[in-house]
Structure 1
Amino acid sequence: MKLAGLKSVENAHDDSVWAATWVPATDDRPALLLTGSLDETVRLWRPDDLTSVATSTGHSLGVVSVAAHPSGVIAASASLDSFVRVFDVDHNNTIATLEAPPSEVWQMQFDPKLITSLSIPRPEGLKPSDKSGNKKFVLSVAWSPDGKPLACGSIDGTISIFDVSRAKFLHHLEGHCMPVRSLVYSPIDPRILFSASDDSHVHMYDAEGKSLISAMSGHASWVLSVDASPDGAAIATGSSDRSVKLWDLKMRAAVQTLSNHVDPVWAVAFRPPGGTGMRAGRLASVSDDKSISLYDYS
């Protein structure tokens, strides 16, 4: 397996690009890349030549997270202004504006069935007086591909697993000693969860069995983003060490390092399968250097 650089767009935004995701293909169009920036805008890009399709405004501070509904019809952006904007992808019409005070929303994911609110409990062993265990700041979320468990990564390094249908906390996953910036489940095994942390490690968990399968190292600094390839054979990571790494999950090791960016890489995203005549093997990365890079994954 390998990544090959296809195209880079310099100055894709007017400020740092902190968020990226793919909007799934519909019957009328291919998948599109969605990016969010500290320039307060959200932009859509064509999948192979990274031509800009649309620019959305509406936030009063930087956009730090974007998400797309599995249908490919609607998407959302979250900003440091504590608002989430839900919009129609093809017409850029605002569907809803959600306020999320008193803090920012740092990561979002759509669930096609429901919206609910969950409280993150304190890990066992913490005293009630330990303020660090109360109202933990959540930096990352991930839905299992079967739509049942939800994983939440916290600033204290713990990962909380919920059964959302019952609004029930199940257990914690431990192993990181610094904030968990990004989470993603394996697309082929709903038990397997990957995490990226400021401790420079990438972890592979059996989220159902509550066990750490592997702690993978290779980055020289914070790991800011992780995503799993559609075939389930690899993951990609982006780091504040300015690199993108491809990891072979059989070897549980990094097999390639790319240095397209000159500043921290805030997001990596594999394009989902689907769409007429489109190859699924694409990875995008975005950075503080304002650029977007597109790679062929094979």
Structure 2
Amino acid sequence: MKLAGLKSIENAHDDSVWAATWVPATDTRPGLLLTGSLDETVKLWRSDELQLERTNTGHCLGVVSVAAHPSGVFAASASLDSFVRVFDVDTNATIATLEAPPSEVWQMQFNPSGTALAVAGGGSASVKVWDTAEWRIIQTLSIPRPEGPKPSDKSSSKKFVLSVAWSLDGRRLACGSMDGTISVFDLERGKFLHHLEGHFMPVRSLVYSPTDSRVLFSASDDCHVHMYDAEGKSLIGAMSGHASWVLSVDASPDGLAIATGSSDKTVRLWDLKMRQAVQTMSNHSDQVWEVAFRPTEGRINRLASVSDDKSISLYDYS
């Protein structure tokens, strides 16, 4: 397996690019790459040429997360202004504006069936799950307090939630916190199941394997990438190699590899059988906030990365 650099767009945005995801193809158009930036805009790019299709505005602070509905028809962007904007991909018409006070919004993700959107609520120590038919909150999942501190110790009794990921079957939701713990919930029962431990610094990014609902990958500021059996609560493997925070992790559609982006300015490709990095890409001149594999379209696989250097890079994965 390897990555080959295809194209890089310098100054793709006017400020740091913190978010990227792939919008699935529809009957009327191919798939698109969606990026969000601290310049308060969301941009849509043709997936193979990285040609700008459209620039969307609507937020009054930087965009920190984007998510695409499995249908490819609509997408969502979350901003430091505490709002999530749901919009029609082809027309940019606003479908819904979700407000999740009293806290900012960090990562978010639609479930595989597209019936729900999970939003990590930062300092609210919770994840809110929105129904995508009526855009109402159907669940608020409170992250359990860490064991140890006394109830009066307010500063350490709250968890700051940074990342969320749905399992392949949509039955589980994993949430990564600032203190390094990962919480796993049973969505059918709205019940907390257990913590996954091993990280001691913020868990910035989570992704379940696209081929196995039990396997979860995590990226942390402790420079490590972990692979868990999320049902059995066990750490399968810890992978190291980055020289600084690991800000993003995504799994290849074939389930054989993961890619990571780091504040050491590199993108790494990891072979899951060997559980080690097999390639390091140094396209960026600043920290890499997001890596995203494109869902397979035919035999062509793509990976995108975005950075504080305002650029987007596109790679061929084979």
What's the TM-score bracket when you normalise by the shorter of the two chains?
A: over 0.9
Q: CA deviation at 1:101?
A: 2.1
**C-alpha displacement at 1:169, in angstroms?**
0.3
- Could you say what secondary structure the match of 1:232 adopts? coil
List structure 1 segments (4+ residues) > 6 angstroms apart after TM superposition. Answer: none
CA RMSD of aligned residues (A): 1.1
Taking the aligned partners of 2:26 and 2:157, their CA distance within structure 1 comes to 42
Which residue in the other structure is 1:65 paired with?
65
Residue-by-residue CA offset, 1:252-288 (whole Å, 9 max, x unaligned): 00000000000000000000124xxx54410000000
Identify the residue that residue 289 of structure 1 maps to in structure 2.
309
The CA deviation at 1:126 is 4.0
Kindly state the Cα deviation for residue 102 of structure 1 after the two structures are TM-superposed: 2.3
- The match for 2:93 is 93
Identity, in percent, stands at 82
- Are the equivalent residues in 2 in contact too, given 1:76–1:86 (CA < 8 A)? yes
Amino acid at match of 2:69: H
Equivalent position of 2:2 in the other structure: 2
Instruction: Please tell me the residue identity of whatever aligns with 2:309.
Output: D
Aligned to 2:123: none
Q: CA offsets per residue over residues 220-260 of structure 1, 9 Å max, x none?
A: 00000000000000000000000000000000000000000
Displacement of 1:132: 4.5
Distance (whole Å) between structure 2 residues aligned to residue 110 and residue 252 of structure 1: 28
The corresponding residue for 1:187 is 210
Residue 125 of structure 1: how far off its partner (Å):
3.7
Q: Distance in 2 between matches of 1:130 and 1:32?
A: 47
1:103 aligns with 2:103: yes
- Structure 2 contact 146–157 (Cα < 8 Å) conserved: no
Per the alignment, in what secondary structure is the counterpart of residue 61 of structure 2? Answer: coil
The equivalent of 2:283 in structure 1 is: 260
Who is 2:115 aligned against?
Answer: 113
CA distance in 2, matches of 1:212, 1:13: 38
Q: Structure 1, residues 34-67: CA drift from partner, whole Å, max 9, x if none?
A: 0000000000000111000111101000000000
CA shift for structure 1 position 113: 2.4
Aligned to 1:145: 168
Q: What is the distance in 1 between the residues matched to 2:61 and 2:246? A: 24
Q: CA deviation at 1:135?
A: 3.6
Who is 1:245 aligned against?
268
Pairwise mapping of residues 122-161 of structure 1 onto structure 2 (< 5 A)? Answer: 122-161=145-184
3-state SS of paired residue (2:305): strand
| C-alpha distance in structure 2 between counterparts of 1:72 and 1:133, whole Å | 40
TM-score scaled to structure 1, two decimals?
A: 0.97
Q: Unaligned stretches of 5+ in structure 1? A: none
Instruction: Please give the alpha-carbon distance, in whole angstroms, between the structure 1 residues aligned to 2:200 and 2:150.
Output: 19
How many residues align structurally? 295
In 1, Cα distance between equivalents of 2:316 and 2:147? 44
Residue 30 (structure 1) aligned with residue 30 (structure 2) = yes
Using CA pairs under 8 Å that are at least 6 residues apart, name the structure with larger relative contact order, 1 or 2: 1
Secondary structure (helix, strand or coil) at the match of 1:44 reads strand
User: Which of the numbers 224, 230, 233 marks the counterpart of 2:256?
Assistant: 233
Q: From the superposition, tell whether residues 288 and 12 of structure 1 become closer, same or farther in structure 2 (CA, over 3 Å).
A: same
> Which residue pairs with 1:206 in the alignment?
229
Query: 1:17 touches 1:286 (CA, 8 Å); kept in 2?
Result: yes
Question: Which TM-score applies when normalising by structure 2?
Answer: 0.91
